[in-house]
């Protein structure tokens, strides 16, 4: 499939892999240390990512790092909506990272081009919130909830189970009337997985893409699956994250969700030059 329908934009998937920049508007985001709370920081960060060549920006008002508690809908709205209004004039596809139907609804009304739901639109009302729009939809696998997902992740066959979960969610969404051209899937690195589970999923991204016949979005940036392999803290994971992004793309991912936009854009350009047939 060559196009991902994302609201105002049709994202072309046959060129350079797309870079989704992370914009946390949370006070406890795991890598910015809350540096980008506040609207002026969000705006300047977004402009910086656009200057760095980002293809879309993912705005998140609720930290999804392991152990993080859920945030009330009103609180999440108060964080996300001002950023959305400010950023939507920048002319770049905007994704909103949320699990809450009420946030999805408001975000879509405010012009969000994609809803990125780590909970795969399972919340009551989530499908209804997105069905009558044309925004893109990222469907991600998670075992458990962010609060407890890393306590003891267990699978019989993590690749098989993640594929079957995503298949069921996508089938449910399509049966509800959502067109496939709006959907991308994501194995959810770090969301209820051990390091080994994460690398098994990374190695089998091609199988996920093949079996679901949908674009794959991958988010490894600065995560513990990187840190565990290089033994470095979160602020020293750039090289590892770039390698992770390239590995994802080599295994078929078409969108990578990252913190370090300029570096990832450069890495992807060199990768593309080295692999274009």
Ligand X SMILES: Cn1cnc2c(O)nc(N)nc21
Catalytic sites, residue numbers? 223, 257
Beta carbon nearer to ligand X, 64 or 224 = 64
- Which of 256, 235, 244 minimizes the C-alpha distance to 33? 235
- Residue 60 found at the interface with ligand X (CB under 6 A): yes
Alpha carbon distance 203, 159 (integer Å): 9
Residue 189 CB, shortest distance to ligand X, in Å, is 5
Candidates 163, 217, 249, 268; binder of ligand X (CB under 6 A) is 217
User: What is the helix (H) or strand (E) element at residue 103, kind and residue range?
Assistant: helix 101-109
Beta carbon nearer to ligand X, 89 or 136 = 136
Candidates 76, 97, 106, 260; binder of ligand X (CB under 6 A) is 97
Q: Which of residues 133-192 bind ligand X (CB under 6 A)?
A: 138, 140, 186, 188-189
Beta carbon nearer to ligand X, 89 or 168 = 168
Candidates 100, 222, 257, 259; binder of ligand X (CB under 6 A) is 257
Residue 217 CB, shortest distance to ligand X, in Å, is 5
* Binding footprint of ligand X, residue count (CB under 6 A): 13
- Which of 62, 69, 78 minimizes the C-alpha distance to 118? 62
Residue 91 CB, shortest distance to ligand X, in Å, is 22
Candidates 46, 103, 118, 225; binder of ligand X (CB under 6 A) is 118
- Residue 116 found at the interface with ligand X (CB under 6 A): yes
- Residue 55 found at the interface with ligand X (CB under 6 A): no
Q: Which residues bind ligand X (CB under 6 A)?
A: 60, 64, 97, 116, 118, 138, 140, 186, 188-189, 217, 219, 257
């Amino acid at each position: 499939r060559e196009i991902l329908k994302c609201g105002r934009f049709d994202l072309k998937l046959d060129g350079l892999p797309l870079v989704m920049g992370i914009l946390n508007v949370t006070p406890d985001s795991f890598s910015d240390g809350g540096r980008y709370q506040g609207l002026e920081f969000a705006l300047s960060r977004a402009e910086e990512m656009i200057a760095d060549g980002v293809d879309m920006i993912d705005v998140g008002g609720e930290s999804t790092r392991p152990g993080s508690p859920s945030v009330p809908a009103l609180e999440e709205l108060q964080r996300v909506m001002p950023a959305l209004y400010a950023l939507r004039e920048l002319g770049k596809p905007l994704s909103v990272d949320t699990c809450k139907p009420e946030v999805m609804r408001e975000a879509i009304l405010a012009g969000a081009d994609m809803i990125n739901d780590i909970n795969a639109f399972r919340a009551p009302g989530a499908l209804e919130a997105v069905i009558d729009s044309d925004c893109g939809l990222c469907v991600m696998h998670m075992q458990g909830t962010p609060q407890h997902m890393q306590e003891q992740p267990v699978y019989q066959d993590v690749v098989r189970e993640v594929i079957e979960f995503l298949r069921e969610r996508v089938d449910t969404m399509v049966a509800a009337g959502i067109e496939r051209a709006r959907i991308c899937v994501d194995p959810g690195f770090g969301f209820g997985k051990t390091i080994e589970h994460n690398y098994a999923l990374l190695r089998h991204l091609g199988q996920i893409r093949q079996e679901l016949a949908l674009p794959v979005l991958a988010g490894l940036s600065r995560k513990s699956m990187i840190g565990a392999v290089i033994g470095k803290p979160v602020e020293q994971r750039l090289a590892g994250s770039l390698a992770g992004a390239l590995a994802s793309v080599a295994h078929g991912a078409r969108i990578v969700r990252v913190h370090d936009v300029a570096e990832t854009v450069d890495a992807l350009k060199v990768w593309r030059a080295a692999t274009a047939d």
